[in-house]
Structure 1
Amino acid sequence: MAINLEKGQRISLEKSNGSKLQNICVGINWGAIEKKGLFGIGGSKEAVDLDGSCALFNANKQLEEVVYFGNLKSKNGSVKHSGDDLTGDMGGDDGIDNEVITLDLSLLNESTTYVAFVLNSFRGHDFGKIPFASIRIYEGTPKRVNEVFAKYDIANGPGFAGHVSMVMGVFYKRNGEWKFNAIGEPTKDKKLQETVNTVMQQYL
């Protein structure tokens, strides 16, 4: 079941052998902005703070909980955040995710019906100004990628320039089965709370 979703595609999370997917990771990798010196000589790096967050909603689209840099674990441990990266890669792309959010679908509360992943640029750095920034949503663990569902290149992807927030994707439960909607849309929001509200109003 090799899946690489385009924006807006929806998939069932059942493997080809009939077993259900359980452990999901959202990995975000990005770089600091390179500042050119006078006449192109020298230069410096400007730290970039991107924040991945996860919002849990019930069937009535009411917010249950948000896991983000200030709350690294959901109450029941189903969602965990690796911690806040305040700078991005300072020495070029090391190929390692700067932040990873893990989701164990089997541990979610029975009431949780939607699990949305969003991204915010904490200090307001325009996605289009970041030298590289990519997101991948995959089955596996932070140390092992089994299967990638969706990848977004937000540093170079059309439509992301001029924005500081986006909705990555939403896992949702239908008739007791989990599915995934690859959204990959920038929003006009500036802060996490605004982005969560946009998810509630437009993407559930």
Structure 2
Amino acid sequence: MAINLQKGQRINLEKSNGSKLQNICVGINWGAIEKKGLFGLSKTKEAVDLDASCALYNEQKQVLEVVYFGNLSSKDNAVKHSGDDLTGDMGGDDGLDNEVITLDLSRLNPATSHVAFVLNSFRGHDFGTIPFASIRIYEGTPSRVNEIFATYDIASGAGFAGHVSMVMGVFYKKNGEWKFNAIGEPTKDKKLQDTVNTVTQHYL
């Protein structure tokens, strides 16, 4: 399997031994913004609230449901959200994902044909100002990374500055096989609902 896809690449979710990849995690890591005080003497931390979300679609490209901080599990329990992180790492990068969405392809309702992952900056913090903000999409569990197949450096990646939302990637079913499209594109949207609409119109 190809490791660390570039934007726009697509892969078949079949491992080198022929078995199908089933357990997928989308992890987001970020830090609070450091603010310098008067004359640069004292420093304070400004909390940053990034929100990872997942939209499930049928073959007609209709939204079946959205898993986000207000709905932590899909009805079929195939998609689960770790919960809302409202601050980011306050004491520097701890190396752990602040929010993780897990996807078990084997448990998905058969009517689901597209699973799209998006990211929104809830309070409108510019992606380019958020310390060490990054995404990794990998096989494994929230505590075990087996194989990373897409990463995005939001904090310093070209194109993310000036934006507060993005489409991370889409898993889609074609001829009964699951594939992954690494998108990694910022959008002009401000809110989650707008970003889901953008996915519906442009990325399925």
Task: With the length of structure 1 as denominator, give the TM-score of the two structures.
Answer: 0.99
Aligned to 2:43: 43
Deviations 1:95-148 (A, max 9, x none): 000000000000001110000000000000000111210000000000000000
Aligned to 1:94: 94
User: Is the contact between residue 2 and residue 148 of structure 1 (CA under 8 Å) also seen in structure 2?
Assistant: no
Which amino acid is the alignment partner of residue 187 of structure 1?
A: T
Deviations 1:36-80 (A, max 9, x none): 111111110000000000000000100001000000000010000
Segments of 5+ residues of structure 2 without an aligned counterpart are none
Aligned to 1:80: 80
Which amino acid is the alignment partner of residue 101 of structure 1?
A: I
Aligned partners of 1:190, 1:138: CA distance in 2, in Å?
27
Which amino acid is the alignment partner of residue 27 of structure 2?
A: G
User: Is the contact between residue 137 and residue 150 of structure 2 (CA under 8 Å) also seen in structure 1?
Assistant: yes
Deviation at 1:2, TM superposition (A): 4.9
Aligned to 1:24: 24
User: Is the contact between residue 2 and residue 11 of structure 2 (CA under 8 Å) also seen in structure 1?
Assistant: no
Aligned partners of 2:22, 2:138: CA distance in 1, in Å?
11
> Residue 115 in 1 paired to residue 115 in 2?
yes
**CA RMSD in angstroms, aligned pairs only:** 0.6
Deviation at 1:16, TM superposition (A): 0.6
Aligned to 1:193: 193
Aligned to 2:129: 129
Query: SS of the counterpart of 1:4?
Result: coil
Aligned partners of 2:130, 2:3: CA distance in 1, in Å?
27
Aligned partners of 1:131, 1:119: CA distance in 2, in Å?
16
Query: SS of the counterpart of 1:112?
Result: coil
Aligned to 2:58: 58
Query: SS of the counterpart of 1:152?
Result: strand
Segments of 5+ residues of structure 1 without an aligned counterpart are none
Percent identical across equivalent pairs? 84
Q: How many residues align?
A: 204
Which amino acid is the alignment partner of residue 113 of structure 1?
A: S
